[in-house]
Structures are given as structure tokens and as C-alpha cells.
């Protein structure tokens, strides 16, 4: 059932008034592929624009807090925690993981996905002068917990998929 549509098929913000307040958490990731030389500049701190990871981390946190301004029909949420971690993966990739938490009536999946996406876009923005061929890939939800629908872990879904 698509809950963002009313009985006439019109866009509708879901009414969460009667939903229980529960502890909710979501983790999302994104990856940015780049030239090895670009990643080396980021890692050794020689990038001309400064600490790329620090700026991307702040951008991701700010984005999570602004998700309802960016995604139509998302509820504004009082996030209690947003963590954005960035790390080099191999010689040509940055892995971003965003974790959002709250006690509330609706989930935080969109906030985690938005944080990871905007952190990736920030890396692109800061590094585009030295590497226009970067790609942002694998933006996805890794896990969520809380609420009526319970828990989800991507690794469980992938492990249970037919091969």
C-alpha cells in the first residue's frame, strides 16, 4: 500500500498522530569513486580546499536535519543523533555511512539516505576541480529499526535472496 496517496490517488502527507512513539534508527551508505590521486590528496590532507571529510561530515549532518525541506511529504523530525562517518576504501573510493536516531512516530530512513547523499555530493563539489570523472554510487539503506514495520537489514535480505 502506498501511504503517500489518498483514496483518490492524490499526494498526501501520512497522518502519524496515532502512531506510538518508539526508538527509531536508520543507517545508509553512499560511495564516491575517484582517481587514486584524488583520494590520496584527501587522505594526506593536501587537497587545496582543505579537510574534505570534515566538510562532507558537516554537510551530511545538516542535510539530515533539513530532509523535510528537500523531500516532499517527509515529516520534520527532531533527530536526537546524526553520525556521518567517511573512510577511504581501497585506492579509489570513499565510503560514507550515515546513522540517524530519534524517539518518534515515524522512521528516519530518508534522513540517513539524505545525509549520505549530501555528504557524497559535497565530496564531489570539493574535488571536482581536480577530478570531474568522480561517480556517486551505491546510495542505499543498510538497516533500520523501530516502528510498526520492525527491523530491516540489507545483509539479511541479500543473504535470503535466490541466486
Torsion, CA 59, CA 61, CA 66, CA 72, rounded to 10: 90
Catalytic residues: 125
Residue showing cell 538497516 = 143
Dihedrals phi, psi of 99, to nearest 5 degrees = -125, 125
Dihedrals phi, psi of 59, to nearest 5 degrees = -60, -40
Rounded to a whole number of angstroms, the CA Rg of the chain reads: 18
Tell me if residue 39 falls in helix, strand or coil. helix
Residue showing cell 523501530 = 146
Assess contact for 111 and 26: CB atoms under 8 A. Answer: yes
Amino acid at each position: 500500500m502506498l501511504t503517500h496517496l489518498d483514496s483518490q490517488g492524490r499526494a498526501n502527507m501520512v497522518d502519524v498522530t496515532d502512531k506510538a512513539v518508539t526508538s527509531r534508527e536508520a543507517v545508509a551508505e553512499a560511495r564516491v569513486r575517484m582517481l587514486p590521486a584524488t583520494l590520496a590528496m584527501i587522505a594526506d590532507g593536501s587537497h587545496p580546499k582543505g579537510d574534505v571529510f570534515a566538510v562532507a561530515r558537516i554537510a551530511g549532518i545538516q542535510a539530515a536535519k533539513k530532509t523535510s525541506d528537500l523531500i516532499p511529504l517527509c515529516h520534520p523530525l527532531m533527530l536526537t543523533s546524526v553520525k556521518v562517518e567517511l573512510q577511504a576504501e581501497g585506492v579509489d573510493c570513499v565510503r560514507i555511512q550515515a546513522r540517524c536516531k530519534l524517539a518518534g512516530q515515524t522512521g528516519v530512513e530518508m534522513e540517513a539516505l539524505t545525509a549520505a547523499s549530501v555528504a557524497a555530493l559535497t565530496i564531489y563539489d570539493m574535488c571536482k576541480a581536480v577530478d570531474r570523472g568522480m561517480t556517486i554510487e551505491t546510495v542505499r539503506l543498510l538497516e533500520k529499526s523501530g516502528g510498526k514495520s520492525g527491523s530491516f537489514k540489507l545483509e539479511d535480505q541479500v543473504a535470503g535472496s535466490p541466486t
